[in-house]
Amino acid sequence: MIVLNTLEKIYLSGSEVIPNEKISKHTSIEIGGKVKALIVPNTVSSLLRSLEILESNEEEYRIMGLGTNLLVSDDGLDVFVLKTERLSAFEVKGDLIVSESGTPLKRLCEIAASLGLSGMEELYGIPGSFGGAIYMNAGAYGKEMKDVLEWVELYDGGKVERFSSKDLEMSYRKTSVGNRIILRAALKLKKGYSEGIYKRMKEYLRRRLEKQPIFEKSAGSLFKRPRPNFYVGSAIEKLGLKGFSVGGMKISEKHAGFLVNSGNGKFEDAIKLIEIVREKIKEKFGETLETEVRIWR
Ligand X SMILES: Cc1cc2nc3c(=O)[nH]c(=O)nc-3n(C[C@H](O)[C@H](O)[C@H](O)COP(=O)(O)OP(=O)(O)OC[C@H]3O[C@@H](n4cnc5c(N)ncnc54)[C@H](O)[C@@H]3O)c2cc1C
**Active-site residue set:** 173, 221, 292
Closest C-alpha to 106, from 81, 88, 82:
88
Nearer to ligand X, 5 or 45 (CB): 45
> Interacting stretch for ligand X, rule CB under 6 A, among 39-47, 211-219, 224-232, 278-286?
211-219
Q: Which of 47, 113, 138, 197 binds ligand X (CB under 6 A)?
A: 138
Contact call for residue 148 and ligand X (CB under 6 A): no
Contact call for residue 239 and ligand X (CB under 6 A): no
Contact call for residue 182 and ligand X (CB under 6 A): yes
Distance of alpha carbon 183 from alpha carbon 162, whole angstroms = 10
Closest C-alpha to 121, from 182, 212, 208:
208
Nearer to ligand X, 68 or 118 (CB): 68
Least distance (Å) between residue 70 CB and ligand X: 4
Closest C-alpha to 51, from 179, 202, 208:
179
Nearer to ligand X, 28 or 50 (CB): 28
Q: Which residues fall within 8 angstroms of residue 40, CB to CB, at 6 or more apart?
A: 15, 16, 17, 18, 82, 83, 85, 86
Nearer to ligand X, 5 or 234 (CB): 234
Evaluate whether 41 touches 15 at the Cβ level (below 8 Å).
Answer: yes
Give the count of beta carbons closer than 10 Å to the beta carbon of residue 232: 21
Contact call for residue 15 and ligand X (CB under 6 A): no
DSSP-assigned beta bridge partners for residue 16: 40
Give the count of beta carbons closer than 10 Å to the beta carbon of residue 179: 9
Nearer to ligand X, 174 or 266 (CB): 174
Least distance (Å) between residue 217 CB and ligand X: 8
Q: Which amino acid is at 19?
A: P
Binding mask 43-82 for ligand X (x = CB under 6 A): -------------------xxxxxxxxx------------
Q: Distance of alpha carbon 139 from its chain centroid, rounded?
A: 11
Q: Distance of alpha carbon 100 from its chain centroid, rounded?
A: 15
Q: Which of 23, 117, 181, 274 binds ligand X (CB under 6 A)?
A: 181
By CB under 6 A, name the binding residues for ligand X: 28, 62-70, 84, 101, 126-129, 131-133, 135-136, 138-140, 177, 181-182, 212, 214, 218-220, 294
